[in-house]
């Protein structure tokens, strides 16, 4: 993938097409604002050394969006207030994901420090829904789009009509909503809100990255993943299952993957969100350690 410019907005592709653990970054030239510094470490080092990076904006608190934040230790950081606590302390970060058990927490601590260069950071200030900022010759609207995380932000750059989608990335994998405070209903509402914004170019953090025509059916395919996961879970629960058995069905990832500590956590986290919805709707009941579909 190549870097692209849309007026003052520079799209910086991540390694491996921005697939996790990388993501695409965006740089606002002139204003010196870098969004989600996790694309390519060497490219971001050059940007740091050759450009005047004045501020870092994070769409949200996840590790694949701050992986190279350590390169900009002296640059002011801005994020939404609900997502800020997870960056201030490694234990708060693990709590934000809802990671439990000493072995799992030890795995994630090592991963976050070694691969993602985690260092505690406190923001210089907060970005808020409805806020409008002037970044050089570009006016940007701050859009709170919760669901993926409680404080996930998107950015609409008015003059070039570019919408930065963050992790509402329209990939075949579909939405992630496995954090402790993630929400399936909020995810659906946020995607529907973003779909209505009158953009002409859409920038996402992973894979395709740049959409120069309306994504059209991609919006619906992205949300349809939620329904498919739910339907597969309901089919599985025709026979009572424990959470461990639900994880072993690999509804989210399709098959067992390594490292297991990473993928088994993700599988369980997303299935828990579906179970919350199904239990609240009365379509599933919990009997001891097992879950069962109501016929």
Q: pLDDT (tens digit, 9 = 90+) per residue, 232-259?
A: 999 999 999 999 999 999 999 999 999 9
In the prediction, which pLDDT does 208 show? Answer: 97
88 to each of 41, 93, 116, how far by Cα in Å? 22, 8, 15
Assigned CATH class of 226-293? mainly alpha
In the structure, what pLDDT confidence band is assigned to residue 50 with cuts at 50, 70 and 90? very high
| C-alpha to C-alpha distance for 54 and 169, rounded to whole angstroms | 26
In the prediction, which pLDDT does 110 show? Answer: 96
**Which residues is 57 bridged to in the sheet?**
35, 78
In the block, tokens 């694309």 appear at 39
With a cut of 80, say whether residue 295 has pLDDT above it.
no
What's this model's pTM, rounded to 2 decimal places?
0.95
Closest Cα partner for 155 from 197, 103, 95? Answer: 197
Distance of CA 266 to the CA centre of its chain: 13
Query: Domain-by-domain residue ranges, the chain?
Result: 4-215, 226-293
| C-alpha to C-alpha distance for 154 and 27, rounded to whole angstroms | 14
- Please, are residues 225 and 175 in contact by the beta-carbon 8 Å criterion? yes
CATH homologous superfamily, domain 4-215: Ribonuclease Z/Hydroxyacylglutathione hydrolase-like (3.60.15.10)
In the structure, what pLDDT confidence band is assigned to residue 278 with cuts at 50, 70 and 90? very high
pLDDT in tens, 115-139: 999 999 999 999 999 999 999 999 9
Once rounded to an integer, what is the mean pLDDT over residues 206-217? 96
Once rounded to an integer, what is the mean pLDDT over residues 285-293? 98
pLDDT in tens, 58-104: 999 999 999 999 999 999 999 999 999 999 999 999 999 999 999 99
- Please, are residues 250 and 156 in contact by the beta-carbon 8 Å criterion? no
With a cut of 80, say whether residue 1 has pLDDT above it.
yes
In the prediction, which pLDDT does 96 show? Answer: 97
Closest Cα partner for 161 from 9, 2, 57? Answer: 9
b vs e for 96-105, b when ≥16 Cβ sit within 10 Å of the residue's Cβ? bbebeeeebb
In the prediction, which pLDDT does 206 show? Answer: 98
How many degrees, rounded to 5, is the angle at CA 281 between CA 276 and CA 283?
90
Q: Look over the chain and give the mean of its residue pLDDT values, rounded to a whole number.
A: 97
Phi, psi (degrees; rounded to nearest 5) at 70: -65, -20
Closest Cα partner for 133 from 162, 158, 152, 153? Answer: 158
| C-alpha to C-alpha distance for 166 and 199, rounded to whole angstroms | 15
Give the pairing type, strands 284-287 and 290-293. antiparallel
In sequence order, what E strands does 168-270 have?
Answer: 201-204, 210-211, 241-242
């Amino acid at each position: 993938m190549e870097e692209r410019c849309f007026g003052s907005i520079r799209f910086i592709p991540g390694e491996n097409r921005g697939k996790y653990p990388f993501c695409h970054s965006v740089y606002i030239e002139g204003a010196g604002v870098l969004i989600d510094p996790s694309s390519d470490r060497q490219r971001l080092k050059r940007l740091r050394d050759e450009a005047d990076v004045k501020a870092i904006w994070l769409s949200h608190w996840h590790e694949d969006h701050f992986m190279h934040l350590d390169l900009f230790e002296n640059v002011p950081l801005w994020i939404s207030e609900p997502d800020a606590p997870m960056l201030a302390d490694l234990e708060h970060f693990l709590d934000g994901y809802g990671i439990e058990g000493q072995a799992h927490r030890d795995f994630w601590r090592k991963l976050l420090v070694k691969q993602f260069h985690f260092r505690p950071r406190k923001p210089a200030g907060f970005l808020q829904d409805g806020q409008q900022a002037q970044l050089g010759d570009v006016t940007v609207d701050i859009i709170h789009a919760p669901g993926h995380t409680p404080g996930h932000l998107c950015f609409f750059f008015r003059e070039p009509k570019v919408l930065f989608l963050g992790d509402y990335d329209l990939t075949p994998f579909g939405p992630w909503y496995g954090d402790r405070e993630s929400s399936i209903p909020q995810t659906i509402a946020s995607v529907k809100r973003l779909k209505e914004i009158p953009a002409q170019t859409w920038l996402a953090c992973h894979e395709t990255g740049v959409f120069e025509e309306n994504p059209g059916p991609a919006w619906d395919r992205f949300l349809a993943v939620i329904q498919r996961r739910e339907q597969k879970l309901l089919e599985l629960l025709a026979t009572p299952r424990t959470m461990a058995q639900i994880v072993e069905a690999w509804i989210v990832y399709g098959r067992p993957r390594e490292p297991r500590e990473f993928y088994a956590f993700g599988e369980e986290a997303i299935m828990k969100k579906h179970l919350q919805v199904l239990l609240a709707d009365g379509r599933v009941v919990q009997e001891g350690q097992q879950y069962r579909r109501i016929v």
